[in-house]
Amino acid sequence: MVATTPVIDIHDVSRTYGEGPPALADVTLRVRAGEALAVLGPSGSGKSTLLNLIARLDRPTSGSVTVDGLRVDELGEAAAARYRRTRIGMVFQFFNLLDDLTVTDNVLLPAQLAGMARAESRRRAAELLGRLGIDRHADAYPGRLSGGERQRVAVARALMNRPALLLADEPTGALDTASGEDVRDLLTALHADGQTIVLVTHDLSLAEACATRTVELVDGRIVRDVQHPPRSGHTPPHAGHTPHAGQAAGATSPGTSRGAAVAGGGTAGHEGGAR
């Protein structure tokens, strides 16, 4: 059975910006260890706002956000950056890799920021590149890779510090069909290995393939919360499964500084006026 202790515990959260309608309104949501949650909804529904609150890239106007036992809405900026390095991994639509670094060096960045020993970090990077099927590109530069391969590098970077939670914001949005299917299969395999995932997407087929549960947002409110039956051949993580601590790349927009791109600065993509 899946562990019942929530990795994410969002209670009565609202987020408003100025005088407009709330981006989120009275949202309560729990995500258990080992779940793969897909968050669906039209542009402006509040999906990215929800992701930003979980990542502590933003704070709620009211309510509480607890992730991996930590009240993230109460964290200051320095503590929030440490939280993103040590508790979560983030994958974004446009990869946010550093083009002047090799694949291996991109993957190593979070470990360097976290102070991991060089030998240990290089072993971990090699393990992830092999696991994700991109070890043959270890010394290549991102610009030489396909979109699907670059997203695999971004996922490896996000897993470098063994995060309790993987956040994916439109991870197939910039990919062609074949590359999108490649990333879909990768996320499915990661979840089968016990990784807790929150996936924000417009792509219903991606949600259906990867998620064990689907939440739909409309105008900042949860209007649907559906638990899916286990897929054939998939065994949920045991109750004793302990999420790993660590974060790989709290990457941001391409213009963000190198340190901030991995330490967790910036925001996920906003959705129209309601974010």
Long-range contacts of 78-81 (CB under 8 A, 24+ apart): 80/56, 80/264, 81/250, 81/263, 81/264, 81/265
Identify the band that residue 225 occupies on the pLDDT scale cut at 50, 70 and 90: very high
In a domain, 275, yes or no: no
In a domain, 274, yes or no: no
In a domain, 50, yes or no: yes
How many domains does one find in the chain? 1
Long-range contacts of 113-119 (CB under 8 A, 24+ apart): 113/85, 113/259, 113/262, 113/263, 114/85, 114/86, 114/161, 114/246, 114/247, 116/161
Residues 6+ apart with CB under 8 A from 115: none
In a domain, 143, yes or no: yes
In a domain, 60, yes or no: yes
Long-range contacts of 21-26 (CB under 8 A, 24+ apart): 21/219, 21/220, 21/274, 22/61, 22/220, 23/49, 23/220, 23/274, 23/275, 24/49, 24/50, 24/53, 24/60, 24/220, 24/221, 25/219, 25/220, 25/221, 26/63, 26/221
pLDDT score of 117 more than 80: yes
Tokens found for residue 18: 């100025």
Range of the domain at 37: 6-268
Of 60, 35, 40, nearest to 49 (Cα)? 60
pLDDT tens readout for residues 76-108: 999 999 999 889 999 988 888 999 999 999 999
SS3 letters for 185-223? HHHHHHHHCCCEEEEECCCHHHHHHHCCEEEEEECCEEE
Tokens found for residue 105: 């060096």
Of 139, 135, 163, nearest to 245 (Cα)? 163
Instruction: Give the range among 46-60, 122-136, 229-243 with minimum mean pLDDT.
Output: 229-243
In a domain, 20, yes or no: yes
Number of residues written out for the chain = 275
Query: Which tops the pLDDT comparison, 246 or 129?
Result: 129
In a domain, 273, yes or no: no
Angle separating helix axes 118-131 and 147-159, nearest 10 degrees = 140
Q: What is the pLDDT of residue 157?
A: 94
CA 46 – CA 220 distance, rounded (Å):
5
pLDDT tens readout for residues 137-173: 999 999 999 998 999 999 999 999 999 999 999 888 8
Residue with tokens 């002047």: 100
Domain CATH code at residue 94: 3.40.50.300
Identify the band that residue 205 occupies on the pLDDT scale cut at 50, 70 and 90: confident
Number of neighbours of residue 28 by Cβ within 10 angstroms:
12
Tokens found for residue 126: 């090699």
Taking the alpha carbons of 73, 216, 157, 117 in that order, is the dihedral positive or negative?
Answer: positive
In a domain, 117, yes or no: yes
